[in-house]
Structure 1
Amino acid sequence: MNKQINKKHKFALIVAGLIASTSTVYAESEFGEFNADFRLRYEGVDQANSLKDADALTLRTLLNFKTKDFNGFSGMIELEDSRALIDDYNDTLGKNPDYSVVADPETTELDQLFIQYKQEGFSAKIGRQDINLDNHRFVGNVGWRQDKQTFDAFRFTAGEDKWKFDYSYINKRNRIFADEKDIDSSDHLINASYNTQYGKFTGYGYLLEQDDMINNALDTWGVRWTGGVEKFLLQAEFALQDYEMGTTEYSSEYMLLEAGYKFDQVTAKLGFEILGSDSGEYGFQTPLATLHKFNGWTDQFLSTPDVGLQDFYASFAGNLWGGKWLVAYHDFQSDDSNAQASNYGSEFDAQYTRKITKYVSGGLKYANYSAGDVATGKVDTDRIWLWLQAKF
């Protein structure tokens, strides 16, 4: 009982300090500006297995300094810290393995440090940095987690109003699991887009390889189109992937079809995403993606099963009480037609977010996954989140 009271007192004190601090941190100098971002979040996990229910209260702090532009040159340094105030959870690094996973380990990191040169229609950036491409399905910073993903990279972009070319070379993936699980790599990201009256067309090639002294090339080539007519929202995407591990080779396909419609107060979307399978032995993978955005918020499919995945989904979003709400439903099936069992279950997701003051926002989020008949160790899962964020 005392433990629960102490947790509540700690939570209340942190919330009060978070809101009070918003008027004091931002500062600007003749050389640039300082910014701060505090996110206090509770995440609870309940799974139908032998693991204990997880309770995680974590505080993520981002502090950065951005220089002003000096003849086209600028720079940025960003520090990130994540602290566990309630730590009854498996942090993915060996702590509390008898609890369900919440992938927010305690860590203090240099999150970004880069120099950039930018002129009209051209930019070059070298150093540790965020990289987000298209809808984050293949490359993103995983900003949802308390330790976001960044890359040690060189990035070059060029473009005008209608077209853009984007190339990055990555030699280290700074992942969401603290420094212990960062990966040295030799990755090439190529992304080119062109805007027309019929929508935006994008072609890409993502050539990934981990530096671990063995051939493990993961090459993906694809095309993407996004557009709309009046209140209709449309997107389509197709990609081919080849994976080599030593002398073994696999290939698989990716496809996305999504249609939406904007009503007066509600936006409705219906979509079908396929992460294909190579004869039940390999499933299409997107290791650099912001995976939490896709295939349900309980994170059941961060790695695509060998039999692949088909996700048929519907979502509705709108405004309410000065905030934004969203609900979504997913139906999951395997993609391999020869699989002995094909039903991967379903998931219901709901979220409400709202700005509270000029600097402070908050949100409530819930996800419920019901397991299907595919024997993969997946179980019924409930996750809930409650957070406050001060950003300025």
Structure 2
Amino acid sequence: MLTPLTARNGQKNQKSLLAFAIGSVLASAATPVLSMTFTEALTGGKVSLDVRYRYEFVDQDNPLDQAHASTVRTRLGYRTGDFKGFEVFTEAEDVSAVGNENYNSTINGITDHSVVADPTETEVNQIYVRYKGFSDTSLTYGRQRFAMDNHRFIGTVGWRQNEQTFDAFVGTNESLPDTKITAGYLHNANRVFSDASPNGNFRMQSPVFNAQYYGLAAGTLTTYGYLFDFTNADVNSTQNFGLRFAGGTDVAEDAKVLYTLEYAIQKDYADNPQSFEAAYWLAEVGLAAYGLTFKVGMETLESDDGRSFQTPLATLHAMNGWADQFLVTPDDGLQDLYVSAGALVKGVKWLAVYHDYSSDINSLSYGSELGLLAVYPINKHYTVGAKFASYAEDGRGVDTDKAWLWGEVKF
């Protein structure tokens, strides 16, 4: 049996290994490239603008009133030019309500309505300095948009109007053939609830490492290690190590078989008061042919005697159904069996997804969900879309219908 001292030493060794990996990324040095003058870099940068209007409707089979959230999210950014390999980017973000706030934003006190987690606040969304003077290497320090793979462990939660960004130091290196290495140290997650909320920040001391090899004809092989040490939420502190393979193989001129396999193990870490070990499994197969795409998959988040696999930094809206009924994995774990069908017709992306939910242990049924999506990118600047999700409970939660309409302008 491991003593507390032995366990702590093991955690220090794991953190040291990740620190070594991070150092390896930073060690790839070359002669800095020539750049414009400081004044030219400061004044010759690029302005960016992203405005998204969205209407969100929520109806639940409970005493809460329906939510009607009409909001506009505006991001205004500026990226300097290159000065001796350095550039600076800063971006402000504002979320404003159009009309009355007939929804619970989690901080507006309207608790008799269903939740739409889009608080109306103005914040600094990103502000960072980036150095690209080393060959095939990028080093970024500051508040930044950061995501790994399919956002299952680390994501931007970009569906919400106030996205999740990270205060972090991140390095990427692509010196090795067909390989991309990402390593970093996360200090804080600026969550979707905004700084005005007591739940608006996840403070942490978390080294992360991700290595992708895309030299295989069949797909991309990824290995990763994420040591999440949450200083203001010890129960969420976990060590996560995993392997992922995703890709596709042509089987005909206009047909491709798609597949994804992923496995990860999660254990308690740092000052987490619980002791547990749970696994994550993802198996997905599909076929893309003649503009149509079909997929079937099973995602399992295991439970270890009531302590289930959790991913609090993920883009959870994209994972187990758009009705957001599994933002926290149930104590008995989660099995999500899903099928999807997509099509691209005259520039419009259509998607239908059906989920059947059950527990990992104790043979519980949770319910099912149907999701429908239509997105039309008019051109590279303008996009409109509509989405619908209907969750039918079968032993967990309440029947929930959600619908969205939105339009976005990006320059």
CA distance in 2, matches of 1:220, 1:213: 17
Deviations 1:90-124 (A, max 9, x none): 11125210100001011110010000111431111
In structure 1, give the amino acid aligned to 2:204: S
User: 1:17 matched to which residue of 2?
Assistant: none
Deviations 1:334-387 (A, max 9, x none): 001xx2x611100000010112355221001000000012xx4x0000000000
User: 2:179 matched to which residue of 1?
Assistant: 163
In structure 2, give the amino acid aligned to 1:347: E
CA distance in 2, matches of 1:310, 1:342: 10
In structure 2, give the amino acid aligned to 1:91: S
User: 1:382 matched to which residue of 2?
Assistant: 401
Is 2:281 aligned against 1:255? yes
Residues 1-392 of structure 1 aligned to structure 2 (within 5 Å): 30-85=43-98, 86-118=100-132, 119-160=134-175, 161-179=177-195, 180=197, 181-195=200-214, 196-212=216-232, 217-230=237-250, 231-244=256-269, 246-279=272-305, 281-336=306-361, 339=362, 342-356=364-378, 359-373=381-395, 376=396, 378-392=397-411
CA distance in 1, matches of 2:235, 2:326: 25
Question: What SS does the aligned partner of 2:307 have?
Answer: coil
In structure 2, give the amino acid aligned to 1:35: S
In structure 2, give the amino acid aligned to 1:171: H
CA shift, 1:263, in A, is 1.4
Moved more, 210-219 or 110-119: 210-219
CA distance in 1, matches of 2:111, 2:233: 30
| Alignment size in residue pairs | 358
Question: What SS does the aligned partner of 2:317 have?
Answer: helix
CA distance in 1, matches of 2:226, 2:272: 19
In structure 2, give the amino acid aligned to 1:240: I
Normalized against structure 1, the TM-score is what? 0.88
Deviations 1:177-208 (A, max 9, x none): 01122121111111011122332111101111
Moved more, 357-366 or 301-310: 357-366
CA shift, 1:246, in A, is 4.7
CA distance in 2, matches of 1:72, 1:102: 42
% of aligned pairs identical? 42
User: 1:9 matched to which residue of 2?
Assistant: none
CA shift, 1:216, in A, is 5.5
Q: 1:53 to 1:262 in 2, by over 3 A?
A: same
CA distance in 2, matches of 1:256, 1:298: 20
CA shift, 1:30, in A, is 4.8
Deviations 1:287-309 (A, max 9, x none): 11111101100000011011000
CA distance in 2, matches of 1:292, 1:298: 8
CA distance in 2, matches of 1:248, 1:321: 53
Question: What SS does the aligned partner of 1:292 have?
Answer: helix
